[in-house]
């Protein structure tokens, strides 16, 4: 693996490569992030939602005692513990949310939250969570005005979301905005980027739609369009806002090559019409960029640095890869993460098809969730990626 990292980042010195390699090896031992779907109950009915949220909690939802045990299991990974991302549904619907946050704090677990924008996310509750040590909040914004309202299924939700972001920023939170890229939202990306930067949003995490749950009625972009969006997001990262992607690890390949480009790099695919459209709009709104790019290069992916626990305790590589690896009610989260055979294959980049012979199979690795959705094989190639590896075996079978 070390040689592979060195090959991918030839401009870095030996010490930096060794540091990066050490971080990658730590991902075999414990994840960076544990996502916990605290409940499926949620007041919204977002069209793309993986969770197919409902009005009330399901009977198999982790009880308070079982939730405390989950927090103890996360602490067992060792210090520093993985960051716990409490999501849903809407975590604010649970009556024990504050006591769980306080217990996690006492265990030394950093907590980030991903609540729904609803009356429960008010200033009083936000300040209380801040007092308990929560510093990071992720809020979803999927487009401008009616675009966002249409996705969220609630008129006027866009304006209340912007007001909530301003409130959270004023309290002192680091606010991350999550946005979904799909055919109905892609044209809003430049104006949305400008709006978020103007609000002081520090992190923009862009999810490339996988058609699961309620998202099955929506349209994913073509692979070539994904490449254009990734290139556009790299441009956005030069305006002072950290940009990350979900289920689009191809962004790391694009960002790495654009960052290192000297005019001789051949692995940046030609810009398409969608990129030119989005880029021109961004330049009109923001002018020329004035910051160094802020795009991460740590090679995390479903099951590598990330693990997901459902509301019932089921353990999955991610929230979009519905292959149960066990249940925290009966299995050790630590043992499952470290020793599950599928997770080991994912972390070793033991893939098939184009991903299996790609020179970026570790830096990127493709979306394991999308591979499973398309081919019923989590180790298959990612159909959302347009890159053709240099190997002559690029036409290997998908699975």
Task: Give yes or no: residues 293 and 367 share one domain.
Answer: no
- Looking at the predicted structure, is the pLDDT value of residue 1 above 80? no
Mean pLDDT of 249-264: 79
Task: Give yes or no: residues 90 and 184 share one domain.
Answer: yes
What local confidence, expressed as pLDDT, does residue 263 receive? 46
Task: Give yes or no: residues 117 and 49 share one domain.
Answer: yes
Mean pLDDT of 313-338: 97
Mean pLDDT of 142-168: 92
- Looking at the predicted structure, is the pLDDT value of residue 244 above 50? yes
Task: Give yes or no: residues 293 and 391 share one domain.
Answer: no
Alpha helices in the chain (DSSP H): 2-8, 14-26, 64-75, 97-106, 123-131, 146-152, 157-171, 189-199, 223-236, 250-260, 273-286, 333-339, 341-347, 353-357, 368-375
Task: Give yes or no: residues 245 and 133 share one domain.
Answer: yes
Task: Give yes or no: residues 251 and 382 share one domain.
Answer: no
Q: How far apart are CA 163 and CA 154, in angstroms?
A: 15
72-86, 268-282, 341-355, range with the lowest pLDDT: 268-282
What local confidence, expressed as pLDDT, does residue 332 receive? 98
Q: How far apart are CA 276 and CA 15, in angstroms?
A: 38
Give a yes or no: residue 30 inside a domain: yes
What local confidence, expressed as pLDDT, does residue 154 receive? 82
Give a yes or no: residue 306 inside a domain: no
What's the mean pLDDT when you consider all of the chain? Answer: 87
Task: Give yes or no: residues 293 and 358 share one domain.
Answer: no
Give 392 or 139, the one with higher predicted confidence.
Answer: 139
Give a yes or no: residue 147 inside a domain: yes
Task: Give yes or no: residues 18 and 163 share one domain.
Answer: yes
- Looking at the predicted structure, is the pLDDT value of residue 10 above 60? no
Mean pLDDT of 226-235: 96
Residue 359 is part of which domain span?
A: 351-399
Task: Give yes or no: residues 145 and 72 share one domain.
Answer: yes
Give a yes or no: residue 225 inside a domain: yes
What local confidence, expressed as pLDDT, does residue 43 receive? 64
What local confidence, expressed as pLDDT, does residue 262 receive? 52
Task: Give yes or no: residues 276 and 391 share one domain.
Answer: no
Q: Residue 229's pLDDT band (boundaries 50, 70, 90)?
A: very high
Which residues are 316's β-sheet partners?
Answer: 308
Give 72 or 11, the one with higher predicted confidence.
Answer: 72
Give a yes or no: residue 324 inside a domain: no
Give a yes or no: residue 315 inside a domain: no
- Looking at the predicted structure, is the pLDDT value of residue 168 above 50? yes
Give a yes or no: residue 332 inside a domain: no
- Looking at the predicted structure, is the pLDDT value of residue 55 above 70? no
Task: Give yes or no: residues 279 and 397 share one domain.
Answer: no
- Looking at the predicted structure, is the pLDDT value of residue 274 above 50? yes
What local confidence, expressed as pLDDT, does residue 12 receive? 36
Closest CA to 114 of 136, 133, 81, 96: 136
Looking at the structure of the chain, the number of domains it has is: 2
Mean pLDDT of 92-97: 94
What local confidence, expressed as pLDDT, does residue 121 receive? 94
What local confidence, expressed as pLDDT, does residue 46 receive? 55
- Looking at the predicted structure, is the pLDDT value of residue 132 above 60? yes
User: Which of 261, 283, 301 is the last residue before a domain boundary?
Assistant: 301
Q: CATH number of the domain that 182 lies in?
A: 3.20.20.70
Task: Give yes or no: residues 263 and 365 share one domain.
Answer: no
pTM, rounded to two decimals: 0.86
- Looking at the predicted structure, is the pLDDT value of residue 369 above 90? yes
Of these ranges, 52-56, 230-234, 260-264, the one predicted with the greatest mean pLDDT is: 230-234
User: Which of 267, 301, 335 is the last residue before a domain boundary?
Assistant: 301
Q: How far apart are CA 176 and CA 136, in angstroms?
A: 7
CA dihedral 86, 109, 125, 167 (to 10 degrees): -80
Give a yes or no: residue 337 inside a domain: no
User: Which of 232, 267, 301 is the last residue before a domain boundary?
Assistant: 301
């Amino acid at each position: 693996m070390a040689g592979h990292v060195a090959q991918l980042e030839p401009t870095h010195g030996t010490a930096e490569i060794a540091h990066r390699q050490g971080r990658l090896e730590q991902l075999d031992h414990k994840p960076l992030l544990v996502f916990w779907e605290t409940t499926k109950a949620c007041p919204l009915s977002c069209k793309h939602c993986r969770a197919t949220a409902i009005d009330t909690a399901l009977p198999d939802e982790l009880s308070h005692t079982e939730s405390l045990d989950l927090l103890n299991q996360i602490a067992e990974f060792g210090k520093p513990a993985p960051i716990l991302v409490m999501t849903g549904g809407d975590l604010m619907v649970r009556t024990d949310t504050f006591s769980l946050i306080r217990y996690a704090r006492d265990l030394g677990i950093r907590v980030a939250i991903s609540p729904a924008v609803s009356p429960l996310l008010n200033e009083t509750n936000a300040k209380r969570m801040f007092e308990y040590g929560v510093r990071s909040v992720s809020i979803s914004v999927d487009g401008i005005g009616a675009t966002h309202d249409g996705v969220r299924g609630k008129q006027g939700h866009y304006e209340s979301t912007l007001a909530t972001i301003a409130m959270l920023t004023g309290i002192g939170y680091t606010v991350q905005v999550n946005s979904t890229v799909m055919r109905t939202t892609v044209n809003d990306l430049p104006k949305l980027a400008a709006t978020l930067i103007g609000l002081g949003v520090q992190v923009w995490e862009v999810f490339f739609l996988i058609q699961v749950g309620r998202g099955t009625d929506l349209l994913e972009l073509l692979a070539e369009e994904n490449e254009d969006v990734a290139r556009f997001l790299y441009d956005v990262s030069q305006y002072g806002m950290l940009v990350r992607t979900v289920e689009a690890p191809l962004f790391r390949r694009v960002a790495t090559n654009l960052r290192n480009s000297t005019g001789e790099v051949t692995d940046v695919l030609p810009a398409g019409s969608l990129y030119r459209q989005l880029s021109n709009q961004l330049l009109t709104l923001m002018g020329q960029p004035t910051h160094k790019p802020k795009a991460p290069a740590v090679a995390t992916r479903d099951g590598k640095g990330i693990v997901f626990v459902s509301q019932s305790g089921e353990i999955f590589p991610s929230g979009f890869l519905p292959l149960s690896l066990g249940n925290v009610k009966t299995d050790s989260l630590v043992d499952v993460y470290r020793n599950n055979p599928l997770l080991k294959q994912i972390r070793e980049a033991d893939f098939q098809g184009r991903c299996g012979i790609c020179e970026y199979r570790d830096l990127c690795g493709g979306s394991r969730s999308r591979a499973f959705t398309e081919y019923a094989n989590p180790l298959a190639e990612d159909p959302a990626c347009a890159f053709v590896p240099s190997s002559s075996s690029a036409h290997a079978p998908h699975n």
